[in-house]
Chain A
């Protein structure tokens, strides 16, 4: 029982960072109908950037987030303009998968040239302190990571709900046709949306680097988790991504503590298959098929 509750606590705390990563990805899908397979690589790049800022200049990852998000926003816009925009409309959804996969490999290659393939982690002073509450251990760094992720999600929420740009994005997600008629310029929304997705990845990456050791190949582990979360929640739904992250990370934490850590990776895949069997559109997705 103790192990179970400890698992749940751990799962909820880690869910924050996954929710952040996944919300960027589901946002990109919502706007552009593109499954961004480079999201994991972007997260790792974000982790490297804040690692570098920390080791070279001593800037705490929590403080470097504004810098890395802006840098990654620009990168995201560039990727959209250079690689996704030129794709022809009729095979865009298919080609964009492969293009973003190629971008992931490109980023992986660049990262492994720049930082080699040795495993890094951002070791801050508070990395190892922890509290014990009612017999349950809560590490400070996990709590920080959780709060930070929630804060970043809050900023994302405000951006989407309180700004003109955010309203344009939400209109596009809900109905691209009428958004276009209302004067929302689809190509601009796509570029900015992809940038926003990348910026989310950067923020998540800073947090991720605090929590886990990583190297350039870590994005492979991330991407399958992220995709499961996004599908689970329903492609394009940010609320769904948050719930999906909670489900995936608590269940794999429980399995890790109750059975064995090596089986926790399997958990999300099993959950994913079950959800797809029962509800192909995901928990919060609206349509299973394209419009008729």
Chain B
């Protein structure tokens, strides 16, 4: 795509200015194509402007106001951000978002990696297992969280019953401030692992067989093949999984809302739920938008850091650029 753009750009540069180009596009032979192009793009582009570009710009204004929707918004500058710095619950929810993200994502990818390795073996019935592992992924989070809410019930739930059979007195899971977050993480990983597993599996299948053969001929052991062929060749897929999982984890909402409602004692209120509560329970639109801006900046920074780090560990990262 970059090559395509660069090509068009260079063509334009040494031929004529943009305005002339624009005029020319509407005359002569290319007139029909230009009009068709704009017409084809129109339905999409109009929707894109109304429901995406405009709201994003609008958000910048809302975060600078005090607005309950009942009366007109009052412009208060950066006051929402001052409030935010002194808001204990904001820091708590921010901490929860980080706790959730940086425990759920690494553990999830670790498990997904081993599952993908196992599924990459040439054996019968692999597709069956792949389907099974992927089923939770397409199950709606609300239903999944509902099932798990029941599984986690201290007295009648499945987990504590199984634990009891092997002589362990299970915790109160979602009703215990210490165990609530791990409960959400376990459920989220059960649901989300299929995605990471599938991407990693595709990455594994994309490694040419010859590389392994060459390594074997050179006398590489199984471990060495893993270390010097599989892992380096898998880094682009790993990178993609890490970036998208981190972004996704910071935006998780459904499982918190259904499984724990953010409780007990705000132990599982992530930033997304706190934004939701402020905007749609307390109708503090301005403050909610300010919180959302913080979430956006965090996601942006984490993504940028990932891209920076990628140059050090992702195989062939510079070449793709």
Determine if chain A interacts with chain B: no
Residues of A within 8 A of B (CB): none
